[in-house]
Amino acid sequence: MADAIDTNTGTTRADRRAEAADTGPVLASDGTPLKASLRRALRAQKLRALMLVAPLLVFILVTFVAPIADMLFRSVENQIVSQTLPRTTAELQGWESDSGDLPSEDTYRALLTDLTLAVAANTHTRLGSRLNYEQSGMSSIFRQTGRNIDDVAAPYLDNFEALDPRWVEPGTLAALMTDPDYFAAARAWREENPVGPFGGGATYDQPIRLNPGIGELLPSAAAIFRDWAEYVRVENSAVVGDEEPWSLFYLRLYQDLLNVSEADLGAYDGPQSDLLLETKRMLDQFQPVSIRDRFIEVDAGWGNPDIWATIKVYSPSYTSGYFLNAVDMQLNAEGVSMQPEDERIYGILFKRTMFMSLMITGSCILLGYPIAWLLANLPMRTANLLMILVLLPFWTSLLVRTSAWKVMLQQQGVINDILVWLGVVGDESRLIMINNQFGTIVAMTHILLPFMILPLYSVMQTIPPSYLRAAKSLGATPFTAFWRVYFPQSVPGIGAGSILVFILAIGYYITPEIVGGTSGTFISNRIAYHISSSLNWGLAAALGSILLGAVLILYWAYDRIVGIDNVKLGG
């Protein structure tokens, strides 16, 4: 807007001169057209202003806006399930959760792989706690299964051992699977670095190299062998040939041997190729077991279709589950439904936050209006003196005021002592004024009262006192004059103060935490609880996002009514 005017002024002046001289465009002293020269100067000014603002803008974007964005993102983010159980969630896509059947054997095999890797990476307990927010009992299922994950496919190991005991010798397996050079080097390194008395010791620094031909012959067994070997090398300071692989390896080996043709095996001539061929020929003696049954044996929960339904519902990377939880709903296999009656706490909490904020706003109006009126109608000197009484609490540390209220309101506190001394209440029936809604409302009214008085005062200062006198001289009673003439003019002040107080009140944390007890806490206390105690960050983020939305709507209203530039700081 301002740019346009400047440019226009420049242009018109240039045009006028051009008309007067009538010799083409007017030139600046350096020979360029004046118009272009002006535009360049303007651009330079714009750029300089932006350069001045840029550092702060970047600073705020990084230190403040990014965290808020991160919170909003966390309220819907749900990658933990699909990241921890990638194969299982892919398999579950084809499973109908309302069929009442358990998922296929393939799904259980995928789960075995995912969980074996998750246990190695120690992420299964985190997933268990995450899913436990949605269905209780999940955490213990995952912990129990994690402890016994190697037992699930143990029958396959036993089968291989029965076919040929060489299958359980770590050395034989390592020779079969790894590159011969790597195997030799690893064993030589182990000779030089024997395992210490308590295990551990140095870590071999060469990543695993598989036998070149084995990957094509036994693809899935080779893949899990690589994962296992890297895991023991990094985590256990072991090298190939030290330990027996996960039992999952034997399941994979069995499947691969079933799939591979005898001709291909016969053509293979790597280490231990004869063992492979012999085993392939004896494979009909193998007694396979159902992995599904094994899982159910380890933890009966795996036989419950509801558990699987929950995993399926929460397998997408983004979920509305946290938001639904935040409004007392839940997302499960049947879709969205209300929480059971006795678990609906957030509705109550949101309602209580609203109700108490309204009460606080109301009592601030009630107490602030007379004060603002008095200050606006007293002589300037007296008003300034009394203003100190308003500004002093405003400037005093929030914790000082909260601690003062705690001291005054408690049962052995100052107010109760005075009441007992006056004989209003008996010593044994002291009033309970703290750790309930009353305490929170009193303390927060006191804390937020200046935020009501200051906007009210600045509005009332602009109302000429002669209006009231005029109304009275026209025959209005004092009350009518106030109610019909003065009050309507002070409504903008009430509006501004109320929105300000309300915005501040619904996000308050410290005061309700200290004087609120259990019945006087706000939604913000619940957010803090989920961040630091229950560690359900997603739900905390969802609650925070809802609160933020409410505040932004109120703030937008404040901007419409008062204007953002009119934010005043203590007169």
- Subset of residues 451 to 480 that bind other proteins, contact rule: CB under 8 A: 478
User: Which one, 194 or 475, has the nearer CB to other proteins?
Assistant: 475
Write the burial class of residue 362 (CB in 10 Å: 0-12 exposed, 13-18 middle, 19+ buried): middle
User: Looking at 13, 16, 48, 351, which residue binds other proteins (CB under 8 A)?
Assistant: 48
If the CB atoms of residues 18 and 528 are measured against other proteins, the closer one turns out to be 528
Query: Looking at 398, 425, 491, 561, which residue binds other proteins (CB under 8 A)?
Result: 398
Q: Is-contact 208 179, C-beta < 8 A?
A: no
The 3-state DSSP class for residue 317 equals coil
Q: Does 227 bind other proteins (CB under 8 A)?
A: no
List the one residue from 90, 210, 333, 531 that touches other proteins (CB under 8 A). Answer: 531
The DSSP result for 113-152, as a single string, is HHHHHHHHHT-HHHHHHHHHTTSTTHHHHHHHHHHTHHHH
Tell me which stretch binds other proteins (CB under 8 A): 158-166, 220-228, 426-434, 506-514: 506-514
Among 15, 32, 67, 317, binds other proteins (CB under 8 A): 67
Residue 257 and residue 250: Cα distance in Å, rounded? Answer: 10
Whole-number minimum distance, CB 447 to other proteins, in Å?
9
Half-sphere exposure of 549 (CA within 13 A, CB side): 8
State yes or no: residue 513 binds other proteins (CB under 8 A): yes
The reply to whether 354 sits near other proteins by the rule CB under 8 A is: no
First to last CA, the chain: 31
212: amino acid identity, one letter: P
**Which residues 6+ apart lie within 8 Å of 354 measured at CB?**
506
Distance CA 192, CA 203 (A): 12
- Give the shortest CB-15-to-other proteins separation in angstroms: 22
Among 27, 210, 386, 557, binds other proteins (CB under 8 A): 386
Q: Least distance to other proteins from the beta carbon of 420, Å?
A: 10
Count of residues that bind other proteins according to CB under 8 A: 95
Query: Which position among 194, 335, 340, 423 is part of the footprint of other proteins (CB under 8 A)?
Result: 423
Which CB, 39 or 166, lies closer to other proteins?
A: 39
Q: Which is nearer to other proteins, 189 or 509 (CB)?
A: 509
Report CA dihedral (418, 420, 425, 429) to the nearest 10 degrees. 120
91 binds other proteins (CB under 8 A): no
Q: How far is the CB of 7 from other proteins (least distance, A)?
A: 11
Q: Are 333 and 310 in contact (CB under 8 A)?
A: yes
Write down the least CB distance from residue 425 to other proteins, Å: 11
Considering only 49-57, 160-168, 292-300, 303-311, which stretch makes contact with other proteins by CB under 8 A? 49-57
* 310, two tokens: 């929950």
Query: For residues 443 and 402, is the Cβ–Cβ distance under 8 A?
Result: yes
Give residue 325's identity as a one-letter amino acid code.
Answer: N
Taking CB under 8 A as the binding criterion, the range among 57-65, 219-227, 235-243, 300-308 that sits at the site for other proteins is: 57-65
The number of beta carbons lying within 10 Å of the beta carbon of residue 331 is: 19
